[in-house]
Amino acid sequence: MKMMKNVALLAALLALVCVCEGVTFGQICQGNPNNNPRTSDRLGAGHFGAPRGSRRHQGVDIICNDGSEVYAPFDVTTINRGLVVYNDPDKAAIDRGLVISGEGLCVKLFYVQPDRTSGTVSKGQRLGVMMPMQSVYPGITSHVHVELCDKSDPTGYF
Ligand code: ZN
């Protein structure tokens, strides 16, 4: 009897987990339909928590060739604003991004030249264009940096 209760509790917990992870991101970058992440290159790795000097990487890097179109990963009910990533003149070529909200999520996308910085975009529709990352970091795996606004791990959404 006690075991049955535990099984029921476990099932309820699993159901909760499934609800929380109900959102799956659609294709973010043209040419990368499976949202393949940046693995490791001479400048680092793209997974959440990867070392960045004394800090930790706070997002997931999705491979995206310079100049590729960038798409909404979910139904975006609000494009909150445009974003400056570094505020560094040496990195001006890639110093843009977007903050988007929808489906209960708030997400920052770095290195994207936005088509617009307000309004609504459906999942899969174009948000902007990947900026010329190779001009700032030659040899890096060019990528869109995807970060949750609350800094939690976005890996489960891919
Ligand atoms: Zn990143």
Cα-to-centroid distance, 140 and ligand 1 (Å):
11
Q: Contact, 75 vs 103, CB < 8 A? A: yes
In this prediction the pTM is 0.86
Query: Per residue in 79-131, pLDDT tens?
Result: 999 999 999 999 999 999 999 999 999 999 999 999 999 999 999 999 999 99
Residues with CB under 5 A from ligand 1 (ion): 59, 61, 145
The single-letter code of the amino acid at 48 is F
User: Which residue segments constitute the domains of the chain, with CATH numbers given?
Assistant: 24-157 (2.70.70.10)
H or E element at residue 105 = strand 105-110
| E strand or H helix at 61 | strand 60-63
Rounded to the nearest whole angstrom, what is the distance from the C-alpha of residue 53 to the centroid of ligand 1?
13
